[in-house]
Structure 1
Amino acid sequence: MAGTPCGPIEYAVAGDGPPVLVVHGAGGGYDQGMDIFMPLVDVGYRVIAMSRFGYLRTPLPADASPPAQADAHACLLDALNIRQAVVIGVSAGGPSAMQFALRHPERTAALVLMVPAAYASRPVDVRSKRMPPGVEFLLDAVLKSDFLFWALTRFARQTAIRTILGTPPEVVQSASAEERASVAQVLDHVLPVSPRRLGLLNDAAIVTTLPRYELERIAAPTLIMSVADDLYGTFDGARYSAEHIPHARFVGYPSGGHMGVGHEKETMAEIAAFLKGFSSR
């Protein structure tokens, strides 16, 4: 835990080299960040994964908006004596990662957005894609109970993959054993869900009312990635952001769901190649 002017922040660090600040998605925490981005340690980066407001041991303050979260990311870097870092925002971590680049441009060595929750020029009906009738009520109930969430992931696995991970179950079924194991790890590590519930509720409120940010003011080198069949509907917002952030690079895949199944190694290779040209201190 880091004691900061922005409040206590839970985090973990792995590796040596240029620092990469990982801003996890909904249902995550520092553990999700480490699960996904440990491959960057193997290619020479120092991965710093925190738990955002309302997740695990990081409390939810009165102001848990993306700008406040972005300032908390800066507070964590201060506590670690890091002046500048690459910032990777995943899913619901995208808004605060973008806000970090806007509010702390001098501290943003590069910005990477993966399947980000982002403003799109046309509305996306996400829930109808993810949730059959009645499932939304069930999901609200299981978020309040570690046991019910465990039961959902064990006995209704395909429903959990669709509704929680935003990924078509058939995409996972056709993936390699290695990638199926990665999906299982991310899903299993949502447990315990009860200490993540406040963060999940906060994220749900944020992503349903996302305004358009001043994307044209983001000066950091930017890579944005998304998947066309993401059941959370991030593709249009990701592409829109890439079109309006100066010189941003967009990588889109036709299938793989919110988890990018089938593209895990390719995605990490894209990120590593993108970051190779940028130094951070």
Structure 2
Amino acid sequence: MRQIADWNDQQFDYRDSGTGPVILLIHGTQSDYREVYHVERLIEAGYRVIVPSRPGYGKTPLQLAASPTELATFYRGWMASRQITRYTVYGISAGGPTAIALAGNNPAVRSLVLACAMTHQISIPYQTWLIQPALQRPLQLIQWVLWNYVKDKLVKFPEEASVRMVEMTSLLRRDDIRSQLNGTDQELLYQVGLQNGPGRGVLFDLTQHIDRQILQTVTCPVLIVHSKSDRAVPFEHALYARRAIAHAQFLESKSPGHLIWIGPSARRDERMIERFISLNH
């Protein structure tokens, strides 16, 4: 259920569900407070999961923060204002830099999970062109057309559309991806396709950067989970964080692409994350 926060002269939307130890989940690109990855299982496992929409997604204005560090400072103050003094930070994909900045030098953070997460600036083709302010409206229109196309195919051809969705963020061949997906994966990807969509937050994601020195300020327990088959956020991001945070634990996912919550090791990865959070909260 969407909730609207009005704090520090800013309004933004978020979800706050479940009871128990608190997890602040920082979602990835083209998502929002409705993030579906692992959320329901964490709630069932006895956690309270808070998912704010990042700048440019949901009803959260892009102007809420200009950088991951600034956004982390905002979230830190917001959580303190709610008298939440102990929580785990769970950073997904493009939410990684904000999650890292939030965990750095923050005694309230009991542990940090980085799931297929960016740990430094991303590099993609035509990046300089894609972040031009004048092109944001046309790019949003293109995103809208593409997501509606994906949703249509998911309804009509769910199995094949699921394979194509994974293929966009995978280094594997299509047939290899197809052999690794099951009915549960297809159902999750169907939910993702119907929930995700265009947002101005892509501009925030493409321009965000986190200094290595900030990673080195993270002293809480850290778990990094990443797949070598990830095309969207290359495996090197996981290795970079592992080198910068000497005490970090590492789990290599067998996911066929960017999303660790699908594929042959999905439930194992989720259980390991749940166990890690439980031991360190």
How high is the TM-score relative to the length of structure 2? 0.81
Partner of 2:29: 26
> Within 5 A, what are the aligned runs for 1:200-211?
200-206=202-208, 211=211
What SS class does the counterpart of residue 242 from structure 2 fall into?
A: helix
Contact conserved, 2:29 with 2:205, CA < 8 A, in 1?
A: yes
CA–CA distance in structure 1, aligned partners of residues 98 and 114 of structure 2: 11
| Aligned partner of 1:85 among 75, 81, 87 | 87
Contact conserved, 1:167 with 1:258, CA < 8 A, in 2?
A: no
Give the Å deviation of 1:152: 3.9
1:241 equivalent in alignment to 2:244: no
What SS class does the counterpart of residue 62 from structure 2 fall into?
A: coil
| Aligned partner of 2:267 among 265, 272, 279 | 265
1:46 equivalent in alignment to 2:44: no
Contact conserved, 2:68 with 2:210, CA < 8 A, in 1?
A: no
Please list every run of 5 or more consecutive structure 2 residues that lacks an aligned counterpart in the other structure: 127-134, 155-160
Deviation digits for residues 207-259 of structure 1 (CA, Å, limit 9, x no counterpart) = xx554343222101000010001011431111221232131101113442101
> Within 5 A, what are the aligned runs for 1:152-231?
152-155=150-153, 157=161, 160-163=165-168, 165=169, 169-170=174-175, 172-174=177-179, 175-191=181-197, 193=198, 196=199, 198-206=200-208, 211-231=211-231
Partner of 2:12: 9
Contact conserved, 2:93 with 2:233, CA < 8 A, in 1?
A: no
Matched to 1:151, the amino acid is Y
1:275 equivalent in alignment to 2:277: yes
CA–CA distance in structure 2, aligned partners of residues 68 and 170 of structure 1: 43
Please list every run of 5 or more consecutive structure 1 residues that lacks an aligned counterpart in the other structure: 129-136
Give the Å deviation of 1:75: 3.1
Matched to 2:87, the amino acid is A
> Within 5 A, what are the aligned runs for 1:47-62?
47-61=49-63
Matched to 1:18, the amino acid is P
Deviation digits for residues 155-191 of structure 1 (CA, Å, limit 9, x no counterpart) = 494554433x557554553211011211221122113
CA–CA distance in structure 1, aligned partners of residues 175 and 141 of structure 2: 24
CA gap 1:171/1:14 in 2 versus in 1, 3 angstroms: farther
The answer to which of 43-52 and 152-161 deviates more is 152-161
Give the Å deviation of 1:141: 4.5
Q: CA RMSD in A?
A: 2.7
CA–CA distance in structure 2, aligned partners of residues 4 and 227 of structure 1: 37
Partner of 2:130: none
CA–CA distance in structure 2, aligned partners of residues 213 and 186 of structure 1: 34
CA gap 1:150/1:253 in 2 versus in 1, 3 angstroms: same
What SS class does the counterpart of residue 106 from structure 1 fall into?
A: coil
Matched to 1:256, the amino acid is P
CA–CA distance in structure 1, aligned partners of residues 176 and 39 of structure 2: 21
CA–CA distance in structure 2, aligned partners of residues 217 and 147 of structure 1: 42
Q: What count of residue pairs does the alignment treat as equivalent?
A: 257
What SS class does the counterpart of residue 38 from structure 2 fall into?
A: helix
CA gap 1:98/1:125 in 2 versus in 1, 3 angstroms: closer
Contact conserved, 1:18 with 1:46, CA < 8 A, in 2?
A: yes
Matched to 1:230, the amino acid is D
1:250 equivalent in alignment to 2:253: no
Contact conserved, 1:183 with 1:259, CA < 8 A, in 2?
A: no
Give the Å deviation of 1:94: 0.2
What SS class does the counterpart of residue 276 from structure 1 fall into?
A: helix
